Amino acid sequence: MMNLMKPTVSPRCRPLLRTCALAAAALLLAAPARAELLGEVSTVFKLIGPNHKIIVEAYDDPKVEGVTCFVSRAKAGGITGAVGLATDKSDASIACRQVGEIRIKEALPKQEEVFSARLSILFKSLQIVRIVDAKRQSLVYMTYSDKLIEGSPKNSITAVPVGKAIPVK
């Protein structure tokens, strides 16, 4: 009689399961940083489902300790917003600030996507890109949205002075 309480894995499948677990862990570690929701304000009342909102999120730069980016963006409500089917607007604003001693963990690419957030179920996302301005010893952050077919020219930038040489790849 089989023991239904304790699942067993065939010895032949164990290496495959171990490889899948390692691949999933690598994807999680390589994924862009996640946002921390700081607050929100309602902009449009919806009778059914949540209201349309502007949300404020914080992102810590994963490669630059001491820099946090604060992003405000539209979040669609209603029934489609509640179930994740609504497409959020492309409007977003960014302000990155030094929040502690700046420590650059490794040489940075001249330009790199550091954060990404989904704005629709499939095709639209908000991107945050870090650009190194080595001449001015500053980090420039830009936010914009893109779609599978066509992005939006709406964007916002901010800069954080580092005050020392920035290692660039």
Quick check: is 91 in a domain? yes
Quick check: is 4 in a domain? no
- Say how many domains are in the chain: 1
Average pLDDT, the chain: 77
**Interval 9-34 mean pLDDT:** 49
83 closest CA partner among 56, 116, 120: 120
Quick check: is 19 in a domain? no
Q: Which residues constitute the domain of residue 72? A: 34-161
Quick check: is 140 in a domain? yes
Cβ atoms of residues 154 and 92 within 8 Å? yes
Tokens of 73: 């963006």
99 closest CA partner among 21, 146, 38: 38
Q: Could you give the residue ranges of the DSSP H alpha helices within 90-161?
A: none
Tokens of 92: 């977003």
Residues 6+ apart with CB under 8 A from 62: 32, 33, 114
Residue carrying the six token digits 């604003």: 93
Cβ atoms of residues 145 and 125 within 8 Å? yes
pLDDT tens for each residue of 130-166: 999 999 999 999 998 776 556 667 889 999 999 999 9
Cβ atoms of residues 96 and 70 within 8 Å? yes
Q: Among the listed ranges 6-20, 57-71, 79-93, 139-153, which one has the minimum average pLDDT value? A: 6-20
Quick check: is 168 in a domain? no
Quick check: is 154 in a domain? yes
Quick check: is 27 in a domain? no
Please measure the distance between the N-terminal and C-terminal CA atoms of the chain and give it in whole angstroms.
Answer: 61
